[in-house]
Amino acid sequence: MASACHTPAARRSRSSRQQGPTRALWKLWEQCQVEPDEAKRNALFQQILGIHKQAPYQIGVNGAKVQPVIVGNTFRNFPDGYIADDTLRDIGLINPAQCFFKK
């Protein structure tokens, strides 16, 4: 027996409520692409910017990521699993003083 929240009517009701800002952005963007009048197109785009101002969206990943690094055969003591600190454009969690060249 299906619960009340999984009935087709409940799903339709939920999907109509869940349009949210993403769908509004898509709809406005589609209208912008086909609008021949520049003033109307700019007005549509200003609405897009308004939505982004209320709730900025960003696509990406959170957290540390392993950064592949090419190290020469004579460069030693470079740690495995180097974590890139992309936010600060820094060398992250390594200590350059620990690395050395071996002849």
What pTM value is reported for the model? 0.42
49 lies in a domain? yes
1 lies in a domain? no
71 lies in a domain? yes
Assigned token pair, 9: 């009517």
Please count the structural domains in the chain: 2
Q: Distance (Å, rounded) from C-alpha 75 to C-alpha 103?
A: 9
Assigned token pair, 85: 């600190």
35 lies in a domain? yes
pLDDT at residue 65 is higher than 70: no
Is the same domain home to 13 and 50? yes
Is the same domain home to 103 and 65? yes
How many residues are there in the chain?
A: 103
Over residues 39-55, the pLDDT tens digits come to 999 999 999 999 888 87
Q: Give the pairing type, strands 65-66 and 75-76.
A: unpaired
User: To the nearest 10°, the Cα dihedral for 59, 65, 68, 71?
Assistant: 140
Is the same domain home to 72 and 48? no
Over residues 11-42, the pLDDT tens digits come to 555 554 556 788 888 899 999 999 999 999 99
Supply the range of the domain harboring residue 34.
7-54
Over residues 83-94, the pLDDT tens digits come to 666 666 666 566
